[in-house]
Structure 1
Amino acid sequence: MLLGQLSERVGSSIPFACQDWASTKAAYRFLSNKRVSEEKILAGHFTCTRERFKATSDTTVLVLHDTTEFIYRREESAAIGIVSKLPTRYGSRPRYHTTCGVLMHSSLVVTEHGLPLGLTAIKFWTRDKFHGANALKRRINPTRVPIEQKESYRWLENLRQSTALLQHPERIVHIGDRESDIYELFCIAQEMGTRFLLRTCVDRLAGEGGQTVSDAMEAAPIKGLHRIKVRNRKGETSEAVLELRYRRIRLHPPIGKRKLYPDLDVTVLHATESHPPKDRDRIDWKLITNLPVHSRKDAVEKLRWYAMRWKIETFHKILKSGFKAEEVRLRAAERLVNLIAILCILSWRIFWMTMMNRTTTTAQPDTVFTTTELYLLDQLVRDKPGKSPSESTLTLYMTKLAQLGGYLARAKDPPPGNTVIWRGLSRLTDIQLGFLLRTQLVGN
């Protein structure tokens, strides 16, 4: 019931979504119930994700991993936890502002075409005490700390959970940014028989141990060029020419962990611009993978897969901007986590609807909409004269829904995005409520 109430009023507060005190109180009791947890809330969604994955037959899927923060303004941070301490200047002496909130590490499955199939793992946590990475390095070498005692252990947990849930490790490619450059993660992926494609930030020992990865890649020849379209901060589009280098390299574990982990054979792929552009940052992608790369075509495919990582950023944007997860007034971390877990399901649905419109041309409208919703969309947004019944596709009705949210549907406009979809869905819900009330009062 709570899921339905929040989905009908995207971005609304709990009292506005529930509409009356009894339903609002029931929602608060549900979120604060000790028998309720994010694992139980998301268990059904995870199962459905596995079924959607099985329906994709034998194609490769990408599991995108990333961490995001939910920041809340509270006078007391004890009930929620600490995210960071930011330095602020007060006169001549620096002071530190404590930011409270919740951190979330999520894993999202998408197809090679970008269609999100669902979430496979989510980890929430807060910090009772915050220790900056630089302060930690002054006291102890971070590479000597067991991975189980670090926050980065969540990367390993999500990889294990995602791979076990989907049950076909050979079809999975795990994608992560620089934060995922963890040697233990490479080893676990190798043990589970799954694959990874990650961006590196550590210059590890390679070869016979007398050189690093960067030394080995400097000697690697350019294997090809790849042209892409990029935008600068002003939104202007230009062409970038990337030089592709790739090489199979034997990787060594950190010195303090050589007795615990074996050497690994991996492929290192570098895609860089030879000349820095004037109006934007230089593209410099340094990727590591256990996938084979034998040609320029293979290298371009891996770059395209890594570019899909931005999809999880879009998912987080829907969660924060669409459903306004950071504007919730709940006071305890446990309640916030339960609510965010519910909003994750709704955010995925909005994202799935948007990408269904972009990735498939054969889906029927009833895949997404009910019969009543289809009827209302036909009444609210009229078809062009002469339209045949065969043209009643999902794309047509998604465009009508987006028009309710402010989409202009001009000839050269790109497909509707998430923002107009969630606006249109919220408006359609209100219209449907009025239509049903009118039917009950007046009759068909």
Structure 2
Amino acid sequence: MKAASAMVRDASASLPKQQHAWKEVKALYRFLDEPDVTFAALMQPHWLQTHTEMQERPLILLIQDTTELDLTHRQKMSGLGQIGDKKGRGLLLQTVLAVVPESREVLGCAQQEPFVRVGAPRGETRAQRRKRPKETDVWTRMVTQVGSAAQRSCWIHVGDRGADFFDFFRTCHKSQVEFLVRATQERRIQQADEQIGYLLSESRARPWQAKRPFQLPASHGRKARQTELSLSFGPLTVLSPRNEPKALQEPINLWVVRVWEEDGLRPQGEEPLEWILLTSVPTHTLQQAWERASWYAHRWIVEDSHQCLKTGCRIEERQVQSAERLMRVLGLLSPMAVRLLQLRSLSRQEPERLAAEVIEPELLEVVAACSQQEASLMALGTFWTEVARLGGFLARRSDGSPGWKTLWKGWLHVQTLLEGVHLSLHLRL
């Protein structure tokens, strides 16, 4: 608790800078060398707290994704595996983030697992490959470990194309949870006349049933832009892969939702947006189909959490000498990355509410003094905008809402100012 409290004051600083004193740094390194200090043990309280909150909500999206922690520059670090094009070294991290779809509120991390990629043995036969554990098994492990929802809750696992495999569908069904997955496999489907069709081809052949404007966020060097999406949807029966054992060849009844950009709407050189989504959630109306598409659009939140971990907490820059140590550091930093996202969520909720009803008085007075405003009259939205200004946010009309980076920088600055206020009062005494 002491080490984590020191880290949270400046999540991006090095371990020695966070701990301040050399004896505290040595204590932390001894702590990270203890074999019973595992990533799972450190994360368990956060997972339990997140699950408790999930049980109280009627609808939760469990957004799952994989990211690479690139540690190629750490030549002396032991225990790493291949990443990327097999020339890089690092770890993989699987994250399940619990999100409330209506408000985009991040409840926390529902489950997470760092792991090392293990290459396939040379000369491996197809039969041997089927028997050994696969890297994609981490998706089903996450579903099993998150578990089942309470009777009054509906949990929906949301995954990108990495989750498009039959074992994932079956595991969700066994765990009594729903799923929404972006399709990438040209799966066999059973048509109404008992003929065999193919998922992607059949979905693309359906005419559009509705259109709607859509704001595409910036991602991987792509600028944010406004576009228009077409939509089609309907039920279908997906057949199991041909190589499945007979006991597992039961077809699955699902719904497919396709949203896409028509030709001519995208900038030159960009790929057209297209999502073909498979879901176990009944989808009978246009409103429900658009809702399913909006659920998938929430998937960017888990990418933001990974960016918080890499940029905000600088997990790839940590000066530890083994993968085991880094996993333990990750167990301390991962809840902080979630906190960065939660800070952004808080800044966008109830902007007209008086800040005095929610924010601690001393904190509110500091921010009000910096912005030369009356603390008792400051709205919650104004409070967070002023915090973001202290982190470099310009608050121009075209800037939109502040992101987690400027909010976090501003928040740390406010904490420093508040510490100075407390110190000045102590010196006066």
Q: Given residue 82 of structure 2, which amino acid in structure 1 is its aligned partner?
A: V
Is the partner of 1:198 in helix, strand or coil?
strand
Structure 2: gaps of 5 or more residues: none
The answer on whether the counterparts of 2:213 and 2:226 sit within 8 Å (CA) in structure 1 is no
Show the 5 A alignment for 1:7-406: 7-56=8-57, 58=58, 60-72=59-71, 73-76=73-76, 79-84=78-83, 86=85, 97=87, 99-112=88-101, 113-127=103-117, 129-131=118-120, 140-141=125-126, 145-146=130-131, 149-164=133-148, 166-168=149-151, 171-207=154-190, 208=194, 210-230=196-216, 235=223, 237-240=225-228, 242-261=229-248, 262-275=250-263, 277-279=266-268, 280-361=270-351, 365=355, 369-383=359-373, 389=376, 391-406=377-392
Task: Give, in angstroms, the shift of residue 399 of structure 1.
Answer: 2.0
Paired with 1:364 and 1:80, the residues of 2 have a C-alpha distance of: 51
Q: 1:405 to 1:388 in 2, by over 3 A?
A: closer
User: Could you tell which deviates more after superposition, 27-36 or 103-112?
Assistant: 27-36
Paired with 2:308 and 2:108, the residues of 1 have a C-alpha distance of: 14
Is the partner of 1:74 in helix, strand or coil?
coil
Q: Given residue 172 of structure 1, which amino acid in structure 2 is its aligned partner?
A: W
Q: Given residue 200 of structure 1, which amino acid in structure 2 is its aligned partner?
A: A
Q: Given residue 398 of structure 1, which amino acid in structure 2 is its aligned partner?
A: W
Is the partner of 1:249 in helix, strand or coil?
strand
Paired with 2:195 and 2:359, the residues of 1 have a C-alpha distance of: 59
Q: Given residue 424 of structure 1, which amino acid in structure 2 is its aligned partner?
A: G
Q: Given residue 114 of structure 1, which amino acid in structure 2 is its aligned partner?
A: R
Task: Give, in angstroms, the shift of residue 272 of structure 1.
Answer: 2.1
Paired with 1:168 and 1:32, the residues of 2 have a C-alpha distance of: 42
Q: 1:25 to 1:360 in 2, by over 3 A?
A: same
Paired with 2:258 and 2:301, the residues of 1 have a C-alpha distance of: 22
Paired with 2:79 and 2:356, the residues of 1 have a C-alpha distance of: 42
Identity value in percent: 22
What is the CA RMSD across the aligned residues, in angstroms?
Answer: 2.7
Is the partner of 2:158 in helix, strand or coil?
strand
The answer on whether the counterparts of 1:80 and 1:331 sit within 8 Å (CA) in structure 2 is no
Paired with 1:172 and 1:16, the residues of 2 have a C-alpha distance of: 41
The answer on whether the counterparts of 2:179 and 2:279 sit within 8 Å (CA) in structure 1 is yes
Cross-structure match for 2:417: 431
Paired with 1:39 and 1:257, the residues of 2 have a C-alpha distance of: 33
Task: Give, in angstroms, the shift of residue 144 of structure 1.
Answer: 6.6
Cross-structure match for 1:91: none
User: Could you tell which deviates more after superposition, 208-217 or 8-17?
Assistant: 208-217
Q: Given residue 386 of structure 2, which amino acid in structure 1 is its aligned partner?
A: K
User: Could you tell which deviates more after superposition, 300-309 or 433-442?
Assistant: 433-442
User: Could you tell which deviates more after superposition, 398-407 or 172-181?
Assistant: 398-407
Q: Given residue 432 of structure 1, which amino acid in structure 2 is its aligned partner?
A: L
Paired residues in the alignment total 418
Task: Give, in angstroms, the shift of residue 290 of structure 1.
Answer: 0.8
User: What's the CA shift string for 1:248-276, capped at 9, x where partnerless?
Assistant: 11111111214242211011122222315
TM-score when normalising by structure 2: 0.89
Paired with 1:174 and 1:192, the residues of 2 have a C-alpha distance of: 11
The answer on whether the counterparts of 1:269 and 1:286 sit within 8 Å (CA) in structure 2 is yes
TM-score when normalising by structure 1: 0.86
Paired with 1:363 and 1:52, the residues of 2 have a C-alpha distance of: 23
User: What's the CA shift string for 1:210-240, capped at 9, x where partnerless?
Assistant: 3222343355343222332346866363423
Structure 1: gaps of 5 or more residues: 87-95
Is the partner of 2:13 in helix, strand or coil?
coil
Q: 1:368 to 1:82 in 2, by over 3 A?
A: farther
